[in-house]
Structure formats: C-alpha cells, structure tokens
Chain A
C-alpha cells in the first residue's frame, strides 16, 4: 500500500516537472542556446527524479541508474539533433 502511494505521488510530481519544463522550453523558443539548456535541465531533472523514486522504493541498483542515465542521454541527443542540426 505504501509502495502504491509512493508511485502515485512521485508520478504526479514527475508530471508537474515535465509540464513546467515543456512550458519553459516553449517560453525560450526564440533562442537555440536556451532551448538546449532547458533540454539539459529536462533530462537532468528526469534522471534525478528516477534515482530518488527508486531510492524511495528501495530498488536503486546500478542497472537502474545506468538505464536512467541512458534515457537522459538519448533525450539530450534528440534535443540537440532537432534544435541544433534542424
């Protein structure tokens, strides 16, 4: 039951973080550099969220850490591709 609550609360927090960061991304739409910075922030916040979430659930293993780091890296590469190369 406690685990369920942690899931619900943490996913709600993640939703708020994602909404705010996407809004910020839209706000800086006229500056490529700022979009890259906000994109980096989005990725870092997600990785941090993932690590805290799994630490709270007690299943933060190295494999999980690597998984979140790679998802963050994929996101950064995609942001760089669209914002910079585009």
Chain B
C-alpha cells in the first residue's frame, strides 16, 4: 500500500511538470507584481516612519532592467555577476550619478505586497528601504529562466544624487553600502569609473509588471494535495494504532507513534517552505 502511495506521488510530480510544460496557461505560477504597487508600498513604509517619499527614476529603472537582463543572460543569482560586475556599474552605465546607492533583489514572489513585506522582514533589506538619504528608486520585474528554473525576478535600486542631469567624467571615489546578507553590511566599494551613457532604451513599458493568471496555481494545488495526503496518512496511522492497542493485536510492524511523530515533523518542515527568495 505504501509503495502505491510513493508511485502515486511520483506520478503526480511528473504529471504536474508535463502539464505545466505543455499548457502553462492552465497549470502555472500565478504572479501579479507591478512597479506602481511596489513604489506605493515602499513609500508607505517610509512615510510611516516620517521619511520622504522616493521618486521613480527612469535611469535607476534602466539600471535595474539591465541588471535583471544580465542575471538571466549569465545565469546567476547574486549582487555581483560571475564576471565581477557590481550593481553600481549598472547604475553608472544608466547615467545616474549617485552619491549613495543600494540594491534589493527578490525572486519568485506571487504579488507586490509579498515582495515588500519580505524585504521589510529582513533587517538588511529593510535598511535600504528606510534609509533617509535615498531620494530616487528604480524597479525592474522580469520573467525568465534562472538556474533552470522559471523565475520572476524583482530588482529594486535606490539612489541619491547631487547632479540630476550631468554625467561626471572623473567622479570622485565613492563609498556605497550594499546591504545584503550575502555581502554583509556596508561593504565599501570604491568606484573610479566614468559613467558610460548607454541609456538609450527605456525599460519602463516592458518591465513595469509581470502578471500571470493560470487557471490552476501550482504552489496552491501542490500544497493542498501534499497536506491533505499527510493528514490522511496520519489519520490512518492513528486509527491503526488505536485498534491494535484496543484489541491487543500482536504483529510485526513499525512503530506507529514514531511514524506519526515523523509525519508531523515533515508537515511542519514543509509548512516552512516558501517560494519567494530574497538577496
């Protein structure tokens, strides 16, 4: 009977992958993330503690878009590319001359609220959102395949600048803080390069939202089926243990109590699994 369950679950896994690959509009990942919502939610968090609102900046959004494209084309999930390209290089290349800058990344969240709440729950990402010195913000939301996995990437870039419309050819070395768990707080990076303005393309129209509404949402259905199955298994084992104990049945079998403990631990562990990841 247990072998049947294993085979059934394996079939369910392969079936899901096959249907998703063939009919993504029927079985897929529901996503609704919009720049306008991310901006409003970020500004709400700042307003709540008396900070000024951030302005959506086209150059920072361009930098965010270029960063997202770079992550997909070089297949990495990191603040710094495998070629050693830092977020600041994208910002400079976009023509935004910053005095301070920061970057938050998120992937695979299903809605804007989830992204901002997750950033706020992470001290290092929150530091970026509520940093008083920032004046401008840029976003990119892009769908693609990262490390072989269908991914919705959100890049949020913060900045403050003295000269809005000029690009310094010999900027002074700047110290900026990249506040992430991976790189640690306030990693000093000296920027000596002059900006190369390649800002000839506007990302705003194509990267302002990712909205997908499949008929069946994979994370919801998967979780429902798995937890119903675990509940069913625990119920059967509990009834079995009760009957065996009541009727004093002697048999060769495993420890039902241990199985139940293990399945509860498994339930708890699986409950902790979340799709959205920050960096």
> Quick check: B2 and A70 within 8 Å, CB to CB?
yes
Closest to A15 in B: B261
Specify the chain A residue showing the minimal Cβ separation from B14. A85
**Complex interface: chain A residues within 8 A of B274 (CB):** 29
In the bound complex, how far is the Cα of B226 from the Cα of A39, in angstroms?
Answer: 15
Q: Are B258 and A74 in contact (CB under 8 A)?
A: no
For A53, list chain B residues within 8 Å (CB). Answer: 255, 258
Interchain CB contact under 8 A, A68 and B265: no
Complex CA gap A20/B257 in Å reads: 19
Interface size on B, as a range, is 35 or more
Give the secondary structure class of A's interface.
helix
Residue of A nearest to B3 (CB): A70
Known contacts being A59-B252, A63-B253, A71-B2, is A11 close to B262, with CB within 8 Å? no
Chain A residues with Cβ below 8 Å from B252 are 59, 61, 63-64
Partner of A77, one of B10, B233, B253, B272: B10
CA distance A47 to B223 in the complex (A): 24
Most buried by A among B229, B233, B268, B270: B270
Q: Once the chains bind, are A64 and B230 in contact (CB under 8 Å)?
A: no
B270 proximity list for chain A (CB < 8 A): 78-79, 82
Q: A49-B258, A50-B254, A50-B258 are in contact. Are A29 and B6 (CB under 8 A)?
A: no
Contact A25 B6 (CB under 8 A): no
- Whether A22 contacts B265 in the complex (CB less than 8 A), given A35-B273, A82-B270, comes out as yes
Bound: A74/B263 CA distance, A: 10
Q: Which of A21, A39, A82 has the most CB of B within 10 A?
A: A82
- Residues of chain B with a CB closer than 8 A to A37's CB: none
Partner-A contacts on B (CB < 8 A): 2-3, 5-6, 9-10, 12-13, 16-17, 218-219, 222-223, 226, 229-230, 233, 252-255, 257-259, 261-263, 265-266, 268-270, 272-275, 277-278
Beyond the given pairs A71-B254, A81-B222, 7 more chain A to chain B contacts, judged by CB atoms under 8 angstroms and listed by A's residue number, are: A14-B262, A50-B255, A64-B254, A75-B263, A77-B9, A78-B9, A80-B13
